[in-house]
């Protein structure tokens, strides 16, 4: 049995993994879909101080509270920042990392520094409260505003990802106007220490390529 911890991207909650969670559990695995502070059913906790550090702590505390060992951390989009930070804090609880069309930061980087100008423009469309980025029109109706500070804050890392048994990157090939993750994909596809997968899918891999994604995740366990 493998323990999968599923971390959603910006504006989403653990519900975005509902189908994947059910299928992994049907295959006999332990699955914990995570909703980060200030998002979805935890949106009542949103305030100006919620940042990347908050979300990394969310994941670290779940790993510790549930006494998870040898976890496969799965991060979609922004969730790549979170799983990287948590794996760096408690590497003894982590076995493998899976990035679903996601950021793979190095020390001192942020979503802001890693993304493209179109995404930066979205980050700055904060609503009237001034510290939350509204969901994009094509997001699920359950999506909620995302704390701006988490997209701007730089990550603090003490080690690198080479300590983990396996690292997978799943790249979504279909983006209108180009993918902000293309530079990451181009770097990792030639790295023999990474397993890189390209799917004919839009960014929401869980919705648009569920069968292929399940196959990839089962292979990481």
- pLDDT-derived band at 211 (thresholds 50, 70, 90) equals very high
Contact 132, 126 (CB under 8 A): yes
pLDDT exceeds cutoff 90 at 137: no
In order of their start, the domains of the chain are 3-220 (3.40.50.1820)
pLDDT of residue 128: 79
Average pLDDT value for residue range 114-129: 92
The residue among 54, 208, 75, 210 whose CA lies nearest residue 140 is: 208
Which of the residues are catalytic? 77
pLDDT in tens, 36-91: 999 999 999 999 999 999 999 999 999 999 999 999 999 999 999 999 999 999 99
pLDDT exceeds cutoff 90 at 129: no
Average pLDDT value for residue range 108-137: 94
Cα 128 to Cα 49: distance, rounded to the nearest angstrom: 16
pLDDT of residue 84: 98
Q: Cα dihedral sign for 219, 168, 196, 151? A: positive
**98-118 burial string, b = 16+ CB within 10 Å, else e?**
bbbbbbbbeeebbbeebbeee
């Amino acid at each position: 049995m493998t323990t999968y911890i599923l971390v959603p991207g910006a504006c989403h909650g653990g519900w975005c993994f509902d189908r994947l969670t059910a299928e992994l559990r049907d295959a006999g695995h332990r699955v914990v879909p995570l909703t980060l502070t200030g998002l979805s059913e935890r949106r009542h906790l949103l305030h100006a101080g919620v940042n990347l550090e908050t979300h990394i702590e969310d994941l670290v505390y779940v790993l510790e509270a549930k006494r998870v060992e040898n976890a496969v951390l799965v991060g979609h989009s922004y969730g790549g920042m979170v799983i990287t930070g948590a794996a760096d804090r408690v590497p003894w609880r982590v076995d493998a990392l899976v990035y679903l069309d996601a950021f793979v930061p190095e020390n001192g980087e942020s979503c802001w520094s890693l993304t493209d100008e179109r995404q930066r423009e979205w980050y700055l469309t904060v609503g009237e409260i001034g510290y939350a980025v509204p969901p994009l029109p094509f997001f699920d109706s359950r999506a909620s505003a995302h704390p701006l500070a988490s997209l701007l804050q730089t990550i603090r890392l003490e080690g690198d990802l080479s300590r983990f048994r396996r690292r997978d990157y799943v790249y979504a090939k279909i983006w209108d106007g180009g993918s902000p993750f293309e530079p990451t994909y181009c770097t990792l596809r030639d790295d023999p220490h990474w397993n890189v997968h390209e799917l004919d899918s839009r960014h929401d891999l869980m919705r648009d390529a569920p069968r292929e994604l399940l196959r990839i995740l089962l292979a990481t366990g």
